[in-house]
Amino acid sequence: PVVVFMKGSPAQPLCGFSNAVVQILRLHGVEDYRAHDVLQDPDLRQGIKNYSNWPTIPQVYLNGEFVGGCDILLQMHQNGDLVEELKKLGIRSALLDAEKDQEKK
């Protein structure tokens, strides 16, 4: 349900914006997602930009729907929308559990 077109891989992002997307997903406990390294395929790199009509990489898709790039994902993370969008996909954000742990203290 989560796909990221990025520079590099989740284990080794090759640009700061791709790294930020990986870190945001990791914060939410999203480990099981498909990542495509656009640096390996120039046709894919240009094709995904044409498909989404979005000029930059990384690009994040939730359930096949284009969400945005690093800036959009960061904004969704900060305002809580990402938790809700993940819930729609049947993914419980790890941040919800972290909040519960904080409340217990």
The binding site for [2Fe-2S] cluster consists of 15
* Angle of the 70-79 helix axis to the 16-27 helix axis, nearest 10: 30
Peptide bond into 42 cis (omega under 30): no
Q: Does an H or E element contain 75, and which?
A: helix 70-79
β-pair type (2-6, 34-37): parallel
